[in-house]
Structure 1
Amino acid sequence: MKRRSPSWCTQRTISLKSPLGQIQISGCKIGVHTIQLLMDVAPAERSDNASLSSVFIVNDGQEEMSPELRHCVEWLRAYFSKPWTVGRLPLPAFHHPALHGDAFTSRVLQTLLREVKVGETVSYKVLAEKAGNPKAVRAVGGAMRRNPLPLLIPCHRVIHGSGQTGAYMGGRGDHLKQWLLNHEKAKGED
Protein backbone atom coordinates (compact mmCIF):
# COMPACT_ATOMS: atom_id res chain seq x y z
CA MET A 1 0.00 0.00 0.00
CA LYS A 2 1.43 3.38 -1.00
CA ARG A 3 0.41 6.75 0.31
CA ARG A 4 1.91 10.18 0.69
CA SER A 5 3.08 11.43 4.03
CA PRO A 6 3.23 15.11 4.89
CA SER A 7 6.87 15.11 3.75
CA TRP A 8 5.93 13.62 0.38
CA CYS A 9 7.78 10.37 0.81
CA THR A 10 6.41 7.15 -0.61
CA GLN A 11 5.42 4.73 2.13
CA ARG A 12 5.17 0.97 1.98
CA THR A 13 3.31 -1.11 4.54
CA ILE A 14 4.28 -4.68 5.32
CA SER A 15 2.64 -7.17 7.65
CA LEU A 16 4.48 -9.52 9.96
CA LYS A 17 3.35 -12.47 11.97
CA SER A 18 4.81 -12.38 15.47
CA PRO A 19 4.28 -13.80 18.95
CA LEU A 20 1.94 -10.84 19.56
CA GLY A 21 -0.09 -11.54 16.44
CA GLN A 22 0.02 -9.49 13.28
CA ILE A 23 2.19 -6.37 13.19
CA GLN A 24 2.02 -3.76 10.43
CA ILE A 25 5.07 -1.62 9.72
CA SER A 26 4.89 1.42 7.50
CA GLY A 27 7.93 3.25 6.24
CA CYS A 28 9.78 4.79 3.36
CA LYS A 29 13.38 4.94 2.17
CA ILE A 30 14.15 7.53 4.85
CA GLY A 31 12.88 5.50 7.80
CA VAL A 32 10.09 3.74 9.67
CA HIS A 33 6.89 5.78 10.11
CA THR A 34 4.63 3.56 12.24
CA ILE A 35 4.27 0.18 13.85
CA GLN A 36 0.80 -1.12 14.64
CA LEU A 37 0.08 -4.16 16.77
CA LEU A 38 -3.09 -5.74 15.38
CA MET A 39 -4.30 -7.87 18.23
CA ASP A 40 -5.77 -11.17 17.15
CA VAL A 41 -4.92 -13.71 19.86
CA ALA A 42 -3.16 -13.29 23.20
CA PRO A 43 0.39 -14.75 23.12
CA ALA A 44 -0.45 -17.36 25.78
CA GLU A 45 -3.37 -18.61 23.66
CA ARG A 46 -1.47 -19.04 20.41
CA SER A 47 -1.50 -22.58 19.09
CA ASP A 48 1.70 -22.28 17.05
CA ASN A 49 4.34 -22.51 19.78
CA ALA A 50 7.08 -22.46 17.16
CA SER A 51 6.21 -18.83 16.46
CA LEU A 52 6.72 -17.73 20.06
CA SER A 53 10.13 -16.38 19.16
CA SER A 54 9.84 -15.94 15.41
CA VAL A 55 8.79 -13.15 13.10
CA PHE A 56 8.07 -13.58 9.44
CA ILE A 57 6.68 -11.45 6.66
CA VAL A 58 3.07 -12.19 5.73
CA ASN A 59 2.67 -10.07 2.60
CA ASP A 60 5.90 -10.16 0.63
CA GLY A 61 4.57 -8.18 -2.34
CA GLN A 62 6.12 -7.30 -5.67
CA GLU A 63 7.74 -4.12 -4.42
CA GLU A 64 11.12 -4.26 -2.79
CA MET A 65 11.28 -3.39 0.90
CA SER A 66 13.32 -0.32 1.74
CA PRO A 67 16.53 -0.97 3.68
CA GLU A 68 14.96 0.69 6.75
CA LEU A 69 11.89 -1.59 6.67
CA ARG A 70 14.17 -4.61 6.26
CA HIS A 71 16.30 -3.33 9.14
CA CYS A 72 13.15 -2.99 11.29
CA VAL A 73 12.09 -6.57 10.52
CA GLU A 74 15.53 -7.86 11.50
CA TRP A 75 15.47 -5.84 14.73
CA LEU A 76 12.03 -7.29 15.60
CA ARG A 77 13.26 -10.82 14.84
CA ALA A 78 16.13 -10.32 17.27
CA TYR A 79 13.81 -8.79 19.88
CA PHE A 80 11.40 -11.72 19.82
CA SER A 81 14.10 -14.39 19.83
CA LYS A 82 16.75 -12.85 22.11
CA PRO A 83 15.55 -9.51 23.51
CA TRP A 84 18.67 -8.92 25.58
CA THR A 85 20.71 -8.65 22.34
CA VAL A 86 18.85 -5.67 20.83
CA GLY A 87 20.72 -3.16 22.99
CA ARG A 88 23.77 -3.88 20.85
CA LEU A 89 21.87 -3.51 17.57
CA PRO A 90 21.37 -0.21 15.78
CA LEU A 91 17.76 0.84 15.41
CA PRO A 92 16.31 1.59 12.00
CA ALA A 93 15.93 5.26 11.14
CA PHE A 94 12.66 6.87 12.23
CA HIS A 95 10.66 9.10 9.90
CA HIS A 96 7.66 10.34 11.84
CA PRO A 97 7.08 14.00 12.78
CA ALA A 98 6.32 13.15 16.44
CA LEU A 99 9.92 11.99 16.83
CA HIS A 100 11.61 15.11 15.55
CA GLY A 101 11.88 18.56 17.02
CA ASP A 102 11.73 19.76 20.60
CA ALA A 103 8.06 19.15 21.44
CA PHE A 104 7.49 17.48 24.80
CA THR A 105 6.18 14.28 23.17
CA SER A 106 9.36 14.00 21.13
CA ARG A 107 11.55 14.63 24.20
CA VAL A 108 9.68 11.98 26.20
CA LEU A 109 9.93 9.35 23.45
CA GLN A 110 13.61 10.10 22.83
CA THR A 111 14.34 9.96 26.58
CA LEU A 112 12.51 6.64 26.91
CA LEU A 113 14.40 5.21 23.95
CA ARG A 114 17.77 6.37 25.25
CA GLU A 115 17.46 5.63 28.96
CA VAL A 116 15.16 2.64 29.59
CA LYS A 117 16.80 -0.58 28.47
CA VAL A 118 15.46 -4.10 27.90
CA GLY A 119 14.24 -5.63 31.16
CA GLU A 120 13.94 -2.24 32.90
CA THR A 121 10.85 -0.19 33.69
CA VAL A 122 10.31 3.47 34.53
CA SER A 123 7.39 5.26 36.14
CA TYR A 124 5.47 7.99 34.36
CA LYS A 125 6.70 10.45 37.01
CA VAL A 126 10.38 9.56 36.65
CA LEU A 127 10.11 9.73 32.86
CA ALA A 128 8.54 13.20 33.14
CA GLU A 129 11.47 14.28 35.32
CA LYS A 130 14.03 12.83 32.91
CA ALA A 131 12.32 14.61 30.00
CA GLY A 132 12.64 17.94 31.79
CA ASN A 133 9.18 18.57 33.24
CA PRO A 134 8.53 16.79 36.57
CA LYS A 135 4.92 18.03 36.70
CA ALA A 136 3.99 16.61 33.28
CA VAL A 137 3.10 13.08 34.39
CA ARG A 138 -0.22 13.09 32.49
CA ALA A 139 1.52 14.47 29.40
CA VAL A 140 3.89 11.49 29.54
CA GLY A 141 0.82 9.23 29.39
CA GLY A 142 -0.33 11.17 26.33
CA ALA A 143 3.07 10.72 24.72
CA MET A 144 2.87 6.98 25.32
CA ARG A 145 -0.58 6.88 23.64
CA ARG A 146 0.82 8.77 20.63
CA ASN A 147 3.97 6.64 20.31
CA PRO A 148 4.06 5.76 16.59
CA LEU A 149 6.69 3.02 17.06
CA PRO A 150 5.76 0.67 19.90
CA LEU A 151 8.36 -2.04 20.55
CA LEU A 152 11.14 0.09 19.01
CA ILE A 153 10.33 2.95 21.39
CA PRO A 154 9.45 0.83 24.43
CA CYS A 155 6.31 2.49 25.84
CA HIS A 156 5.43 -0.91 27.36
CA ARG A 157 8.24 -0.28 29.89
CA VAL A 158 6.47 2.74 31.39
CA ILE A 159 4.50 1.77 34.50
CA HIS A 160 2.76 3.39 37.46
CA GLY A 161 4.82 4.49 40.45
CA SER A 162 2.96 1.82 42.48
CA GLY A 163 4.48 -0.90 40.28
CA GLN A 164 1.22 -1.69 38.47
CA THR A 165 1.75 -2.02 34.75
CA GLY A 166 -1.03 0.35 33.70
CA ALA A 167 -2.88 0.47 30.42
CA TYR A 168 -1.42 -0.40 27.03
CA MET A 169 -3.06 0.44 23.72
CA GLY A 170 -5.90 2.22 25.49
CA GLY A 171 -6.44 -0.76 27.79
CA ARG A 172 -7.07 -3.19 24.92
CA GLY A 173 -3.49 -4.46 24.98
CA ASP A 174 -2.81 -4.81 28.70
CA HIS A 175 -2.12 -8.53 28.22
CA LEU A 176 0.45 -7.67 25.53
CA LYS A 177 2.23 -5.22 27.85
CA GLN A 178 2.49 -7.88 30.54
CA TRP A 179 3.73 -10.43 27.99
CA LEU A 180 6.40 -8.01 26.72
CA LEU A 181 7.64 -7.22 30.23
CA ASN A 182 7.78 -10.93 31.12
CA HIS A 183 9.46 -11.76 27.79
CA GLU A 184 12.22 -9.24 28.43
CA LYS A 185 12.87 -10.36 32.01
CA ALA A 186 12.67 -14.12 31.47
CA LYS A 187 14.89 -14.19 28.41
CA GLY A 188 17.57 -12.03 29.99
CA GLU A 189 18.36 -14.77 32.50
CA ASP A 190 19.95 -17.03 29.87
Structure 2
Amino acid sequence: MASRLVPKVNSKQGESQCKEKHVVLLSPVGKLRISGCETGLHEIKLPKISVLPSGSNVLWSSEQITCMAVEMMSQIRDWLRRAESSAACEVCEGAEEMTEPLKQCTAWLHAYFCEPARTASLPVPAFHHPLLRRDSFTRQVLWTLLRDVKFGEAISYKQLADLAGNSRAARAVGGAMRSNPIPIIIPCHRVICSSGQSGNYGGGNLMKEWLLSHEKLQKEKLAY
Protein backbone atom coordinates (compact mmCIF):
# COMPACT_ATOMS: atom_id res chain seq x y z
CA MET A 1 0.00 0.00 0.00
CA ALA A 2 2.98 2.33 0.50
CA SER A 3 4.08 4.46 -2.44
CA ARG A 4 6.59 2.81 -4.70
CA LEU A 5 8.41 6.07 -5.35
CA VAL A 6 10.69 7.30 -2.58
CA PRO A 7 10.58 11.12 -2.29
CA LYS A 8 13.58 13.32 -2.82
CA VAL A 9 14.89 15.75 -0.22
CA ASN A 10 15.85 18.81 -2.17
CA SER A 11 18.56 21.07 -0.78
CA LYS A 12 17.92 24.61 0.35
CA GLN A 13 20.28 26.09 -2.21
CA GLY A 14 19.09 29.61 -2.91
CA GLU A 15 16.92 29.53 0.21
CA SER A 16 16.43 33.32 0.13
CA GLN A 17 14.64 32.82 -3.19
CA CYS A 18 12.32 30.17 -1.78
CA LYS A 19 8.76 31.44 -2.16
CA GLU A 20 6.55 29.55 0.24
CA LYS A 21 2.98 28.82 -0.80
CA HIS A 22 0.15 27.63 1.43
CA VAL A 23 -2.90 25.48 0.82
CA VAL A 24 -5.58 24.14 3.12
CA LEU A 25 -6.98 20.67 2.47
CA LEU A 26 -10.38 19.90 3.96
CA SER A 27 -10.17 16.25 5.06
CA PRO A 28 -12.16 13.82 7.20
CA VAL A 29 -9.93 14.76 10.17
CA GLY A 30 -10.27 18.50 9.68
CA LYS A 31 -8.28 21.16 7.86
CA LEU A 32 -4.70 20.19 6.97
CA ARG A 33 -2.52 23.27 6.44
CA ILE A 34 0.22 22.49 3.94
CA SER A 35 3.17 24.66 2.95
CA GLY A 36 5.77 24.25 0.24
CA CYS A 37 7.57 25.87 -2.65
CA GLU A 38 8.59 24.96 -6.19
CA THR A 39 11.42 22.85 -4.76
CA GLY A 40 9.45 20.70 -2.34
CA LEU A 41 7.12 20.26 0.58
CA HIS A 42 7.86 22.20 3.77
CA GLU A 43 5.29 21.12 6.31
CA ILE A 44 1.87 19.62 7.01
CA LYS A 45 0.17 21.08 10.08
CA LEU A 46 -2.55 19.00 11.67
CA PRO A 47 -5.56 20.36 13.50
CA LYS A 48 -5.44 19.55 17.21
CA ILE A 49 -8.26 17.20 18.15
CA SER A 50 -8.80 15.71 21.59
CA VAL A 51 -11.75 14.62 23.69
CA LEU A 52 -9.77 14.48 26.93
CA PRO A 53 -9.02 17.49 29.15
CA SER A 54 -5.54 18.90 28.53
CA GLY A 55 -3.22 19.99 31.31
CA SER A 56 -5.44 18.46 33.98
CA ASN A 57 -4.12 16.92 37.18
CA VAL A 58 -7.38 15.17 37.99
CA LEU A 59 -7.08 11.48 38.88
CA TRP A 60 -9.73 9.57 36.94
CA SER A 61 -11.39 6.44 38.26
CA SER A 62 -11.29 3.27 36.17
CA GLU A 63 -15.00 3.72 35.44
CA GLN A 64 -14.42 7.26 34.14
CA ILE A 65 -11.48 6.13 32.00
CA THR A 66 -13.63 3.34 30.52
CA CYS A 67 -16.43 5.80 29.74
CA MET A 68 -14.00 8.19 28.05
CA ALA A 69 -12.47 5.36 26.00
CA VAL A 70 -15.94 4.29 24.86
CA GLU A 71 -16.77 7.87 23.91
CA MET A 72 -13.50 8.20 22.00
CA MET A 73 -14.15 5.03 20.00
CA SER A 74 -17.72 6.21 19.31
CA GLN A 75 -16.36 9.43 17.82
CA ILE A 76 -13.83 7.49 15.76
CA ARG A 77 -16.62 5.30 14.35
CA ASP A 78 -18.67 8.42 13.54
CA TRP A 79 -15.72 9.93 11.68
CA LEU A 80 -15.12 6.72 9.78
CA ARG A 81 -18.78 6.60 8.73
CA ARG A 82 -18.58 10.22 7.59
CA ALA A 83 -15.47 9.49 5.54
CA GLU A 84 -17.15 6.43 4.01
CA SER A 85 -20.31 8.32 3.09
CA SER A 86 -18.48 11.23 1.47
CA ALA A 87 -15.43 11.26 -0.74
CA ALA A 88 -15.05 14.99 -0.04
CA CYS A 89 -11.38 15.74 0.48
CA GLU A 90 -10.55 18.90 -1.37
CA VAL A 91 -8.42 22.02 -1.34
CA CYS A 92 -10.48 24.82 0.18
CA GLU A 93 -7.81 27.57 0.24
CA GLY A 94 -4.84 28.35 -2.00
CA ALA A 95 -5.77 26.19 -5.00
CA GLU A 96 -4.90 28.94 -7.49
CA GLU A 97 -1.21 29.12 -6.48
CA MET A 98 -0.26 25.49 -5.91
CA THR A 99 3.28 24.46 -6.80
CA GLU A 100 3.92 21.01 -8.26
CA PRO A 101 4.98 19.53 -4.88
CA LEU A 102 1.79 20.91 -3.31
CA LYS A 103 -0.29 19.40 -6.12
CA GLN A 104 1.40 16.04 -5.57
CA CYS A 105 0.88 16.31 -1.82
CA THR A 106 -2.85 17.10 -2.03
CA ALA A 107 -3.35 14.36 -4.64
CA TRP A 108 -1.58 11.84 -2.39
CA LEU A 109 -3.58 12.85 0.69
CA HIS A 110 -6.85 12.72 -1.27
CA ALA A 111 -5.99 9.17 -2.28
CA TYR A 112 -4.97 8.27 1.27
CA PHE A 113 -8.35 9.27 2.66
CA CYS A 114 -10.63 8.32 -0.23
CA GLU A 115 -8.89 5.66 -2.39
CA PRO A 116 -5.98 4.24 -0.36
CA ALA A 117 -5.00 1.64 -2.95
CA ARG A 118 -3.99 4.47 -5.31
CA THR A 119 -1.24 5.77 -3.02
CA ALA A 120 0.99 2.92 -4.26
CA SER A 121 1.06 4.40 -7.75
CA LEU A 122 1.29 8.08 -6.82
CA PRO A 123 4.59 9.95 -6.39
CA VAL A 124 5.41 11.20 -2.93
CA PRO A 125 6.31 14.90 -3.23
CA ALA A 126 9.89 16.03 -2.78
CA PHE A 127 10.64 17.33 0.72
CA HIS A 128 12.21 20.72 1.34
CA HIS A 129 12.63 20.97 5.12
CA PRO A 130 15.96 21.45 6.99
CA LEU A 131 15.30 18.56 9.37
CA LEU A 132 15.15 16.14 6.46
CA ARG A 133 18.44 17.40 4.98
CA ARG A 134 20.66 17.12 8.06
CA ASP A 135 22.50 13.85 8.60
CA SER A 136 21.03 12.87 11.97
CA PHE A 137 19.39 9.99 13.80
CA THR A 138 16.06 11.83 13.55
CA ARG A 139 16.31 11.88 9.77
CA GLN A 140 17.33 8.21 9.73
CA VAL A 141 14.31 7.31 11.87
CA LEU A 142 11.85 9.27 9.71
CA TRP A 143 13.28 7.82 6.51
CA THR A 144 13.14 4.29 7.93
CA LEU A 145 9.53 4.82 8.98
CA LEU A 146 8.53 6.12 5.55
CA ARG A 147 10.31 3.30 3.73
CA ASP A 148 9.57 0.27 5.91
CA VAL A 149 6.27 0.69 7.80
CA LYS A 150 3.45 0.12 5.36
CA PHE A 151 -0.20 1.18 5.23
CA GLY A 152 -2.23 -0.66 7.88
CA GLU A 153 0.84 -1.66 9.92
CA ALA A 154 2.01 -0.46 13.33
CA ILE A 155 5.41 -0.59 14.99
CA SER A 156 6.63 0.14 18.50
CA TYR A 157 9.12 2.89 19.32
CA LYS A 158 11.68 0.23 20.26
CA GLN A 159 11.13 -1.74 17.05
CA LEU A 160 11.60 1.40 14.99
CA ALA A 161 14.79 2.20 16.91
CA ASP A 162 16.05 -1.29 16.00
CA LEU A 163 15.21 -0.75 12.32
CA ALA A 164 16.95 2.63 12.36
CA GLY A 165 20.13 1.07 13.73
CA ASN A 166 20.10 1.88 17.46
CA SER A 167 18.12 -0.54 19.62
CA ARG A 168 18.62 1.62 22.74
CA ALA A 169 17.18 4.79 21.23
CA ALA A 170 13.43 4.30 21.76
CA ARG A 171 13.23 7.65 23.58
CA ALA A 172 15.02 9.38 20.70
CA VAL A 173 12.50 7.80 18.32
CA GLY A 174 9.75 9.49 20.32
CA GLY A 175 11.54 12.80 19.85
CA ALA A 176 11.81 12.15 16.12
CA MET A 177 8.06 11.54 15.93
CA ARG A 178 7.39 14.86 17.67
CA SER A 179 9.71 16.61 15.19
CA ASN A 180 8.16 15.08 12.07
CA PRO A 181 7.31 17.99 9.71
CA ILE A 182 5.35 15.85 7.22
CA PRO A 183 2.81 13.82 9.27
CA ILE A 184 0.51 11.29 7.54
CA ILE A 185 2.89 11.05 4.55
CA ILE A 186 5.74 10.21 6.93
CA PRO A 187 3.43 8.02 9.04
CA CYS A 188 4.39 8.74 12.65
CA HIS A 189 0.81 7.74 13.61
CA ARG A 190 1.86 4.11 12.97
CA VAL A 191 4.37 4.22 15.84
CA ILE A 192 2.79 2.99 19.07
CA CYS A 193 3.83 1.93 22.58
CA SER A 194 5.10 -1.61 23.24
CA SER A 195 2.03 -2.08 25.46
CA GLY A 196 -0.24 -1.64 22.46
CA GLN A 197 -1.42 1.80 23.57
CA SER A 198 -1.43 4.32 20.75
CA GLY A 199 0.79 6.88 22.52
CA ASN A 200 0.97 10.62 21.90
CA TYR A 201 0.39 12.37 18.60
CA GLY A 202 0.68 15.93 17.31
CA GLY A 203 -2.97 16.01 16.22
CA GLY A 204 -4.16 14.44 19.47
CA ASN A 205 -4.78 10.84 20.47
CA LEU A 206 -8.21 10.79 18.87
CA MET A 207 -6.78 11.63 15.45
CA LYS A 208 -4.09 8.97 15.85
CA GLU A 209 -6.74 6.37 16.69
CA TRP A 210 -8.80 7.51 13.70
CA LEU A 211 -5.87 7.17 11.28
CA LEU A 212 -4.98 3.70 12.60
CA SER A 213 -8.63 2.61 12.40
CA HIS A 214 -8.99 4.04 8.89
CA GLU A 215 -5.96 2.08 7.67
CA LYS A 216 -7.04 -1.13 9.37
CA LEU A 217 -10.53 -0.91 7.88
CA GLN A 218 -9.28 -0.13 4.37
CA LYS A 219 -6.65 -2.89 4.50
CA GLU A 220 -9.33 -5.41 5.55
CA LYS A 221 -11.55 -4.29 2.66
CA LEU A 222 -8.75 -4.72 0.13
CA ALA A 223 -8.03 -8.20 1.47
CA TYR A 224 -11.48 -9.44 0.35
TM superposition score category, shorter chain reference: 0.7 to 0.9
> How far is the alpha carbon of 1:83 from its aligned partner?
2.2
Q: Secondary structure at the match of 2:220?
A: coil
Q: 1:64 to 1:173 in 2, by over 3 A?
A: same
With a CA cutoff of 8 Å and minimum separation of 6, indicate the structure with the bigger relative contact order.
2
Cα RMSD between the aligned structures?
2.4
Instruction: State the match for 1:187 in structure 2.
Output: 218
Instruction: State the match for 1:68 in structure 2.
Output: 101
> Percent of pairs identical after alignment?
49
Aligned length: 183
- Structure with bigger helix share is 2
2:89 is equivalent to residue 55 of structure 1: yes
Contact between 2:161 and 2:167, CA under 8 Å: does it hold in 1? yes
Instruction: Give unpaired runs (5+ residues) of structure 1.
Output: none
Aligned-partner residue type, residue 10 of structure 1:
K
What is the distance in 2 between the residues matched to 1:142 and 1:82?
Answer: 31
CA shift digits 1:61-113 (9 cap, x unpaired)? 6x521011011000000000122432332201111111123201100000000
Q: What does 1:30-109 correspond to in 2, within 5 Å?
A: 30-39=39-48, 49=82, 53-60=87-94, 63-109=96-142
Normalising by structure 2, report the TM-score: 0.75
Which of these residues, 143, 149, 159, is aligned with residue 192 of structure 2? Answer: 159
Contact between 2:49 and 2:207, CA under 8 Å: does it hold in 1? no
> How far is the alpha carbon of 1:55 from its aligned partner?
1.2
What is the distance in 2 between the residues matched to 1:54 and 1:6?
Answer: 37
Instruction: Give unpaired runs (5+ residues) of structure 2.
Output: 1-12, 51-74
Normalising by structure 1, report the TM-score: 0.87
* Structure 1 runs (4+) greater than 2 angstroms displaced: 5-8, 39-46, 48-54, 82-85
What is the distance in 2 between the residues matched to 1:166 and 1:53?
Answer: 29
